[in-house]
């Protein structure tokens, strides 16, 4: 049963009209999906779960090594167009990014999204996918500490902080970092990319 989040008293809804894609598949760390999604929706953002699985199929969430809830896919990654979204979120969980890295459509979507200079936020094991998309090289970023060697081998400057921002790239290490991760993404979404073009001409 869907709840109308508009009924929440005092909810800040200043980002209505913004659309954020969350790319994930089985094995996703559940809270790294549900936490950012709930936060963004409270600010008026429309969040779409995209996946290499078909629309209506279910993605198995994980609470660490225990099976959690299942989440219905809302759009197949083949049908997802980067231009239709204002930001992209890559949650972690070990098996989720492992599978995405092997899926050519998912890697291509991440690569094309980043090429459009829009916010791309990855947490925990999620930054693994940045390697395959050719994004990690020469970037300041963080990730789950166990994969820091992989990130460094890909040419990244790995930093042990709750959130690291390099241009439009936002990365965090683990579920404990979700509040900082959310706030960094929110700040990027509040930036109007067309603001420079809208001002009065002199």
pLDDT by residue (tens digit) across 135-167? 999 999 999 999 999 999 999 999 999 999 999
Question: Is 64 annotated in the active site?
Answer: no
Q: Is the pTM of this model over 0.85?
A: yes
What is the pLDDT confidence band of residue 17, given thresholds at 50, 70 and 90?
very high
Distance between CA atoms of residues 36 and 21, nearest Å: 11
Distance between CA atoms of residues 142 and 147, nearest Å: 9
pLDDT at residue 2 in the model: 37
Is residue 53 over pLDDT 60?
yes
Catalytic residue among 43, 64, 76, 125: 125
The domain segmentation of the chain, as residue ranges, is 16-192
Q: Name residues whose C-beta falls within 8 Å of residue 34's C-beta, 6 or more positions apart in sequence.
A: 61
CATH architecture of 16-192: 3-Layer(aba) Sandwich (3.40)
Phi, psi of 32 (to 5 degrees): -80, -10
Distance between CA atoms of residues 12 and 44, nearest Å: 7
Distance between CA atoms of residues 145 and 54, nearest Å: 32
C-beta neighbour count of 65 within 10 angstroms: 6
Question: CA dihedral defined by 70, 74, 78, 82, rounded to 10 degrees?
Answer: -120
User: In this predicted model, what pLDDT tens digit does every residue of 86-105 receive, in sequence order?
Assistant: 999 999 999 999 999 999 99
Catalytic residue among 43, 64, 76, 124: 124
Question: Is 125 annotated in the active site?
Answer: yes
User: In this predicted model, what pLDDT tens digit does every residue of 28-40 receive, in sequence order?
Assistant: 999 999 999 999 9
């Amino acid at each position: 049963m869907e709840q109308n989040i508009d009924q929440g008293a005092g909810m800040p809804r200043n980002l209505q009209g913004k659309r954020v894609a969350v790319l994930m598949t089985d094995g996703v760390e559940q809270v790294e999906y549900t936490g950012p999604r709930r936060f963004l929706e409270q600010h008026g953002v429309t969040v779409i779960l995209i996946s290499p699985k078909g629309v209506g199929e279910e993605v198995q969430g994980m609470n660490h090594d225990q099976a959690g809830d299942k989440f219905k896919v809302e759009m197949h990654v083949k049908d997802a167009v980067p231009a239709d979204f204002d930001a992209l979120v890559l949650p972690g969980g070990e098996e989720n990014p492992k599978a995405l890295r092997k899926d050519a459509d998912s890697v291509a979507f991440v690569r094309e999204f980043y090429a459009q200079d829009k916010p791309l936020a990855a947490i925990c094991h999620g930054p693994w996918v940045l390697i395959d998309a050719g994004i990690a090289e020469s970037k300041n970023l963080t990730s789950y500490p166990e994969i820091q060697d992989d990130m460094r081998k890909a040419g990244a400057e790995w930093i042990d902080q709750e959130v690291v921002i390099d241009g439009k790239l936002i990365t965090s290490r683990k579920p404990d970092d979700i509040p900082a991760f959310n706030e960094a993404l929110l700040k990027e979404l509040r930036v109007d990319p067309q603001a420079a073009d809208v001002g009065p001409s002199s």
